[in-house]
Amino acid sequence: MIARTAAPRSLLPALTGARILAVPAVMALILAGPDHDSAYTAAAVVFAVAASTDFVDGYLARRWAVTTKLGSFLDTTADKLLVTGALIALVDVDRASAWIAAIIVGRELLILGLRGVVAADGTVFPPSIWGKLKTNVQFVAIFLAIVRWGGDIGPLRLDEWAMIAAAAITVMSAVEYIARFSSALSEDVR
């Protein structure tokens, strides 16, 4: 019985930690891609494994009923680090638009600030379906930008269309969060 309760408490932080540790590896591999095509393949594999730990981590935390405030914070932070790190590297190797990266990173900073305001008031800031969809679409778009499969679909490549979709859903999720917690922004500071 002891081993069963200890496993969830150590496995979940390990999955989140692995996602955080994957960030510099993914970035380094993407940045090496222009000189070594196999680096993009390796970056895609590391990114896909890291991104999948988000699903596994969340699923196991709910199944084992071991969700904590710290775990939720670290999980969200790991996602943001993975997405922003990969996007910065993809912009550097000209596989992502700086504008789309600015929208995605800007949204993360905006919602981080909103979370802080809401938390200071003692209100819980649960993720919405838009926030979860945003993360998954960003993961797919970044993966496609790393592997860059196929040719043009109309004026853009598949990964470029996916990045536009990710940016649109990112904006929609920000609007939803701001609308839901706008009262926290309009209250006077005490």
Per residue in 119-134, pLDDT tens? 777 777 777 889 889 9
Lowest mean pLDDT segment, chosen from 21-35, 70-84, 95-109? 70-84
- Helix, strand, or coil (residue 156): strand
Position 2 scores a pLDDT of 43
Buried b (16+ CB within 10 A) or exposed e, 150-188: eeeeeeebbbbebbeebbebbbebbeebeeebeebeeee
Residues 125, 122: Cα–Cα separation, whole Å: 9
Q: 108: part of which helix (H) or strand (E)?
A: helix 98-120
Closest listed residue to residue 71, CA positions, set 121, 8, 21, 118: 8
pLDDT of residue 68: 75
Least confident residue range of 59-63, 82-86, 175-179:
59-63
pLDDT at residue 8, as a whole number = 59
The identity of residue 134, as a single letter, is K
Reported confidence tier of residue 60, pLDDT bands at 50, 70, 90: confident
pLDDT band of 88, cuts 50, 70, 90: very high
Nearest Cα to 163, choosing from 103, 120, 106? 103
Task: Say how far apart CA 129 and CA 6 lie, in whole Å.
Answer: 30
Domain residue ranges in the chain:
2-185
- Residue 151: pLDDT band by 50, 70, 90 thresholds? confident
Query: Which DSSP letter does residue 149 get?
Result: -
Tell me how far CA of residue 100 lies from CA of 7, 53, 185, in angstroms. Answer: 39, 25, 26
Euclidean distance between CA atoms 114 and 120, whole angstroms: 10
Query: Which CATH architecture describes the domain 2-185?
Result: Up-down Bundle (1.20)
Three-class SS state of 153: strand
pLDDT in tens, 21-46: 999 999 999 999 999 989 999 999 99
User: Of the ranges 42-51, 74-83, 118-127, which one carries the lowest mean pLDDT score?
Assistant: 118-127
